[in-house]
Structure 1
Amino acid sequence: MSKILVTGGCGMIGSNLVKRLVKEGHDVSIIDNLWRGKLEYLNDESGKPVIDIDSRFFNIDLSDGHADIDKIVNDNEYVIHLADIVAGIDYVFGNQGGLFRQNNLINTNLFASVRRAGKERIKGLIYVGTACSYPLTRQNSLDVVPLREDELFPALPESAYGWSKLMGQLEIGYLEKETGIPCCTLQFHNVYGSPCDFGERSQVIPALIRKAINYPNEEFIVWGSGKQGRAFLHVNDVVEALVRALDKGWGHGWIQIGPSVCTSIAEIAETVVKISGKDIKPFFDTTKPEGDKARSADYSKAKEILGWEPSVSLEDGLRQQYKWVENEIAKSNKQ
């Protein structure tokens, strides 16, 4: 058993990871300001939280540099840093300055506490990066060649979000060299699954699922041309990568986590419509931003070091998420 701190532990990735770690016998603590995460996401099938909320959950905004962060970090052996500010593409491109500043503060405040704790206390730090940090020049064509880790520099992310996450990767690299604390950076591609935010700040898959469920009361509008594509990654595969990184990920720099297949947003929309069973014709709003053209992952490093590769098929994952969002909307309508 290890004592593990998960920042952002009430979000989609964090809540699933916490449940897995608790199931494996670890003593887990959480820092989360509940900007997008929810405490109810930590509940097991009986409706009870999998950790002691009173003693193991800390409602803290890491960007504020809260005085209790040092104490919480010192009480743990491993830190898995998931917390950041991110939402749908409209939010990301509409709040770039504030998002950049907050993510840098979140990272540097947490890393400063880890530094102060030192390698005598902290056995390992895992940081979660993003494929958005890769150069725009490698993501501005529909002719997709899977991204490799050695292409991260020279840096040219498209968004402030990608830049902020890249700054975190640089800082954790300096921290590892200067303190000797084992570190690992996993760069995630586009993660989907449940539980999730499916409201106005949601990302593309939960937004399309919500629109399909609410149709015809809500229009089924797809942002952009639909030609843009991403390497979609189910949250279960993400959790598997994180658990394996705790065992095997130390000292290997950054490791990309995502499938080698690029799926267009139009294909996602078509699959969601198919799952809905409704007669829906998607409307593609080309006045809306669509971000990078396309990307996918060369995950050979993850396979070699972690023994990891994607296991959840896209349609199976979309069906699972559709059912979850449908149930949540039904519960909301009854209230």
Structure 2
Amino acid sequence: MKIVVTGGAGMIGSNLCARLLSEGHDVVAIDNLWRGSLDNLRATCGDNFDKLAFLNADLSAISDWAEALRDADCVYHLADIVAGIGYVFTNESSIFRKNLLINASVATAAEMMRVKRYVYVGTACSFPLHLQSGVDAAPLKESDQFPAHPESAYGWSKLMGELDAGYMAKYAGIETVTLVFHNVYGTPCDYKSNRAQALPAIAYRALQGRQTGVLDVWGDGTQGRAFVHVDDIVDALVMGLSKGAGAGPIQIGPNVCTSIGDAARTIVGIVDPKIDIRFDASKPVGDKGRCADYSKATEVLGWKPTVTLEKGLRSMVDWIAAQEGL
């Protein structure tokens, strides 16, 4: 197939491109390298990197990049502006506006170029805040999205993209799949910039803690997430090549919520059990806790999570340690 991956140089995108190339597809990755990198693609694609077509482009406005979508069998729309909660809650207006522009441009180009299938990636951040009440909150169902009340501008912007994808299916006749991701982790990842997300940032600071004896963690540790490894995410995306069209939003994530405190303790157990964890309740924590009822993903796609959190964290810690020589 001819497949286009927007945000193709990010953690998820680079792993997806590698899988698709290994299966013999013709793949075009589009990314402006704001967070992603060609090094990510080189690392994941290996010997297949030279088979990948790459475009460095800003997707917030239609330009020459749109031609790459012409007659594509599938467009995976992963590109958006997202980062850790510190960045998300201090740049809400720019994130909201930019994501609306990116979603509108990619959807418009997909219609113009007559793509056959459009896989849109949403986020659990789009669920109502009051349903994300803690680690013991009931697993979210897709029907819980409305009435809508996301906590962040990021959640709102991604929800608008979901609605846009639904209208595309209804009025443009394009097969549309909407996958709603919970908190994805894995490698290659950003772990030390101000845009790094929770688990890789904690893992990096824990590795530094071998010298300092201390790991600082944002929040009081009680806030939780449904962490899902990038390998499981790629499985779901590949399943979306042939399944899920017209099924509405499909959550991809585990039905267990893990507290940041427990995740940090697992990481410390991997790195050095003698490290002392210090929680900083003055820092932003985001939603208190959520997880997924993934029964729809199982029914429609045949998907379920397979990578345990401890296995995934150990792999990520080892990768970061190798990058830093720690």
What CA distance in whole angstroms lies between the structure 2 residues aligned with 1:217 and 1:47?
36
Q: Percent identity?
A: 53
Is the 1:241–1:306 contact (alpha carbons within 8 Å) kept by the matching residues of 2? yes
1:108 maps to which residue? 104
Residue in structure 2 matched with residue 205 of structure 1 by the alignment: 199
1:311 matched to 2:288: no
Any conservation in 1 of the 2:219–2:279 contact (CA below 8 Å)? yes
1:281-306 alpha-carbon deviations (Å, 9 max, x no partner): 11100000101111000000000011
- The 2-side partners of 1:141 and 1:45 are apart by 35
Q: State the TM-score, normalizing by the size of structure 2.
A: 0.96
1:174 is the counterpart of 2:174 = no
Name the SS of the counterpart of 1:237 in structure 2. Answer: helix
Matching of residues 147-226 of structure 1 within 5 Å: 147-200=140-193, 201-215=195-209, 216-217=211-212, 219-226=214-221
Q: SS at the partner of 1:94?
A: coil
For the residue of structure 2 that corresponds to 1:323, the secondary structure is helix
The equivalent residue for 1:26 is 25
The code of the aligned residue for 1:295 comes to R
Corresponding residue for residue 2 of structure 2? 3
Distance 1:46 1:189, change over 3 A: closer
1:1-335 superposed matches below 5 A: 2-43=1-42, 48=47, 50-52=49-51, 56-63=53-60, 65-74=61-70, 76-118=72-114, 122-200=115-193, 201-215=195-209, 216-217=211-212, 219-330=214-325
- Residue 52 (structure 1) shift: 3.9
For the residues of structure 1 that align with 2:71 and 2:43, how far apart are their CA atoms? 25
Q: Deviations over 1:307-326 (max 9, x none)?
A: 10000010000000000011
Q: Is the 1:5–1:31 Cα contact (8 Å) retained in structure 2? A: yes
Q: Structure 1 46/90 Cα, relative in aligned 2: closer, same or farther at 3 Å?
A: closer
> CA offsets per residue over residues 18-69 of structure 1, 9 Å max, x none?
010011110000100111111011125795552446xx10000111x14113
- Unmatched segments (≥5 aa) in structure 1: none
How far apart in 1 are the matches of 2:94 and 2:69? Answer: 26
**Whole-angstrom CA distance in 1 between matches of 2:259 and 2:188:** 23
Shift of 1:141: 3.9
Q: What TM-score do the two structures reach when normalised by structure 1? A: 0.93
CA distance in 1 between counterparts of 2:227 and 2:240 reads 20
SS across alignment from 2:234: helix
AA aligned to 2:74 is Y
Q: Which has the larger displacement, 170-179 or 136-145?
A: 136-145
CA shift, 1:277, in A, is 2.1
Contact 1:4 1:29 in 2 (8 A): yes
Quick check: 1:231–1:261 contact (8 Å CA) kept in 2? yes
For 1:10 and 1:45, how far apart are their aligned partners in 2? 10
Deviates more, 1:33-42 or 1:308-317: 33-42
Distance 1:74 1:38, change over 3 A: same
Q: Which letter does structure 2 place at the counterpart of 1:12? A: M
Q: Is the 8 A contact 1:28 1:51 kept in 2?
A: no
- Give, in angstroms, the shift of residue 143 of structure 1: 2.9
2:176 and 2:36 mapped to 1: Cα distance? Answer: 25
Q: Residues 142 and 277 (structure 1 numbering): CA distance in 2 closer, same or farther, change over 3 Å?
A: closer
8 Å contact from structure 1 (residues 146, 297) kept in 2:
yes
Contact 1:229–1:293 (8 Å) recurs in 2: yes
CA distance in 2, matches of 1:36, 1:258: 23
Contact kept, 8 Å, 2:252 with 2:292, in 1: the verdict is: yes
Question: For each residue in 1:101-156, what CA deviation from the matched residue of structure 2 results, as whole angstroms up to 9, or x when unmatched?
Answer: 011111000111111123xxx11000000000000010124431000000100000
Letter in 2 for 1:191: V
1:3–1:78 contact (8 Å) kept in structure 2: yes
